[in-house]
Chain A
Amino acid sequence: MKVKDIVHLLDLTVYSGEQGLDREVTGGYVSDLLSDVMGRADTGQLWVTLQTHKNVMAIASLKDLSAVLLVNKQKPDANTAEQSNEEGIPILGTTMGAFEVTGKLYELIR
């Protein structure tokens, strides 16, 4: 399943990195601890988090994640969005909390 399919099915907002919407999503990773994502997330996973910190995109890029999904109405900082555009890794958003959106995501891509 591609990032854009998930955007469509879960009615997500696309904040930045539109050119990466065709990336393939291989799974999900839910974490708000950057070092944890650095250590444990896998290539192609969609990262669910509340963190909008500038290092989020650096990690998403290093780990080659498919997209970052910000929960609970969080929006990316300006430089985070800019980096997402440069990397072509989309930043998505939802009003749902991590538990709910992950529950729905799991049904789609487990």
Chain B
Amino acid sequence: MHHEYNIVGGDFTRAGYASSQVKKILRNLDVDTAIIKRTVIAAYEAEVNIVAHAYNGIITLDIDADSIRIVLDDMGPGIEDIEQAMQEGYSTASDKVREMGFGAGMGLSNIKRNADELRINSEVGRGTQVEIVMYR
């Protein structure tokens, strides 16, 4: 099963729409509720990251019998030092993002904590790809 969602950078009203759709799809497939919760929290944090930092992005969801794979591809500034970005408390978020209740440097560690597998590839000036895999 394959789904795709377009994400618009800076659009905080719609941030979370794709993750909400993911949640509904997983529910309809009767995926275990604890796995759904971990999946959508990781997906939502990653979706908010695109809205907060990138110009636009695409989220793809692929589900098979064993796993749930979510890939978030964005066109944006990229991450210079991924290890540093993963540190809790480290943030490059704008004041606007902070006033939205995000940008306290907890997002990536939240994703890591919830994902069974997490891969991040980034090119400065181009964009970032975040791949989240969950085992069913």
Contacts and interface: CB of A to CB of B under 8 A. Distances in A.
Interface string B91-132: 000010011010010000000000000000000000000000
A77 to B, nearest CB: 8
A34 B98 contact: yes
Contacts of A50: 104
Interface in A4-33: 32-33
Interface residues of B, number: 6
Interface residues of A, number: 9
Interface of A: 32-35, 50-53, 77
Nearest to A77: B89
Q: Nearest 10 CB-CB pairs, A to B? A: A35-B99, A33-B99, A52-B89, A51-B104, A34-B98, A50-B104, A33-B101, A34-B99, A53-B98, A32-B104
Contacts of B99: 33-35
Interface string B78-99: 0000000000010000010011
Contacts of B89: 52, 77
A53 B92 CA distance: 11
Contacts of B95: 34-35
Nearest to B100: A33
B44 to A, nearest CB: 19
Nearest to A33: B99
